[in-house]
Every structure is written in structure tokens, then in C-alpha cells.
Amino acid sequence: MRSRRSLTESLPCAVTTLLVSASLLFLSHSGTGAQDALGLDHFKCYRIVEGTPANDFVQLHDQFDVTADGVVQFEHVFVRDPVLFCNPVKKATSTGQVTPIVNEDNHLKMYFIAPTTAQTRTVLVTNQFTGTAITPLVVFQPLILAVPTQKRPHGPPERLDHFKCHLVDGKSVDLPVALADQFDTERVFVGRPLLLCNPTVKIHGQTIAGTDRDPALQDNVIKPGNPDAHLVCYRVVSPPTTAPTATPTRAVQVINQFDKEIIKVADPILLCVPSRKQLAG
């Protein structure tokens, strides 16, 4: 069983290899390739180097939180430090397939969570990297809550779900892609999957304790609008440069249900890809 340390150790390790790219790839606006049928953006996720912990409790229920008897279980988790900030991103593959941005206002801020349960399972996923093939992922404990977030001067996110993200192990993609987001345009190498993000029900704030009322019926509940749309997040590595320099940071003003603050972000760590999933077996 993997622990929270697995990802927290891999992030700094990835940072040491994520150097500033020596060459940028121009993404043509006339590129071919249909937008993903799931209607969900790709996201390029940057490491947060300065941000305020949420230090708040929420209740979460994703597609794994159901017993064999079909009983829905809510997981009570503590939301901790922000770890990643994700921009919607335009992606171009070496074969010429271009996936544009669906909604420039949709961003995600990812926080570490302290979950109360852990179970290992295997799922089958399909996305633009797997093609028509079905790829197995071994799924471990949840580690991150991804929260729809406004990034100034953009507007608030629209029709973007919360996601509960689980550590995973699976086959590395090992493909180059070109990415263009609101920060920059660069070529990256896509490696192994690190996270599977399920759309999740989220209850934040006061709940009705000591009653028989279903938590899902309470007024402060946010339910997924697109339960079929998942994210598989892969590690990305930028090509090395001949003269490495210190990774620049950016100040970003963000607003979500936890806080309003200015965070500082550094290098890109993950590319999150819209995906479909089903349980194996």
C-alpha cells in the first residue's frame, strides 16, 4: 500500500528534472482533431510554492464510496495544504491531433487531504493516450481534492466538477506533446500516471448531525454534473536546457470555496487528461 509520502516525494524529484525548455512549439489554431467527447478540458498543473492551507473538513463521496450492498458512504476528510494549480491547456500530439481548450475560465486548485479510508482496486481507463485500447490502473488511497477555482482576471468556472484524486500505478505513456496554456507554450514528455481523479459529491460546512437525514439531501451539497468525465494525471518533464536556470515563479490571484488569496506557482508537474473509467473484473 502506498502512502501520502509517495507523491510528496515524487513531486520534488520531478522538479529537479523539470528544466526550462530550450525550444517552443507553435500550436496552430487551425489544427485538426475533435474535442474530447467528454466536454472536459485537459489541465496543466503547476507546483504551488506559496499558498494558505484550507484547514477545513469536508465530506466526499465518489464512485468508489459504495459498499457491495450498494450503500453510499461519505468520507470525512481534512483539507490541508494546496499543492497544485491547474490551467486548462491546449494539447497537440506528434501525429497532429490538436485538442483545444473548452472553457478558459475553468481552473482547478488541488489540496492534500487526510482521508479516513484506503482500499486498493484496479480500474480500466480510456483517453486520448490509450486510443481504442483499455489501460489498467492500480488505484490506491485518495490523496488530493481538486476544487474548481477562479483565476483572476478570468471569470468563475462553469460546469466544472470537484474531483477526489487517488494515487495510481500504471503504464507510462512515453510520448512527447506540445502544450499551450495561459502561462506559456512548451514541449513536454509525458510519463507515468500518478493520479486518477473521480468526480465527487462534496459537502462543505455545517451538516445536520444526529438525524436520519441523508447527507446528499442537505443544502450545502455540490454534486457532479458530469459523472462520466474523469481525469488521469500524468507526470510531465520538460526537455533539458544547456544552461539550467532557477525555476521562475508566478503570482496568481485565485478564489474558491475555501479562500481568496494570491498563490505562487512554479514548474509544471502534471498533465491531467479527460478519461473514462470502469472497474476491472
What would the pLDDT profile of 113-130 be if each residue is shown by its tens digit?
987 767 899 999 999 998
Is the model more confident about 18 or about 162?
A: 162
In angstroms, the CA 21 to CA 176 distance is: 13
Q: Could you list the residue range(s) of the whole structural domain that residue 261 is in?
A: 4-279
What are the phi and psi torsion angles at 154 (to 5°)?
Answer: -70, 160
Q: Of 96, 97, 100, 79, nearest to 88 (Cα)?
A: 100
pTM: 0.82
Domain count, the chain: 1
Alpha-carbon distance 221 to 24, whole Å?
A: 43
pLDDT for 279: 84
Lowest mean pLDDT among 82-96, 138-152, 208-222, 258-272: 208-222
First to last CA, the chain: 20
Alpha-carbon distance values, 10 to 6, 130, 194 (Å)? 6, 23, 9
pLDDT of residue 240: 72
- Per-residue confidence (pLDDT) for residue 120, from 0 to 100: 92
Name, in order, each residue with C-beta under 8 angstroms of 45's C-beta and a sequence gap of 6 or more: 84, 85, 86, 87, 108, 110, 233, 268, 269, 270, 271, 272
Q: Is the CB of residue 53 less than 8 Å from the CB of residue 114?
A: no
Phi, psi of 17 (to 5 degrees): -100, -10
> What is the average pLDDT score of the chain?
83
| DSSP secondary structure letters along 147-162 | EEEEETTS----S---
Q: What is the DSSP secondary structure assignment for residue 211, as one 8-state letter?
A: S
As a whole-number percent, the residues of the chain with pLDDT over 70 amount to 79
Closest CA to 46 of 16, 15, 20: 15
Mind listing the pLDDT tens digit for each residue in 28-65?
Answer: 332 333 345 788 999 999 999 999 999 999 999 999 98
Res 69: pLDDT: 75
Across 10-19, average pLDDT = 36
Residue range 153-190, pLDDT digits in tens:
999 999 999 999 999 999 999 999 999 999 999 999 99
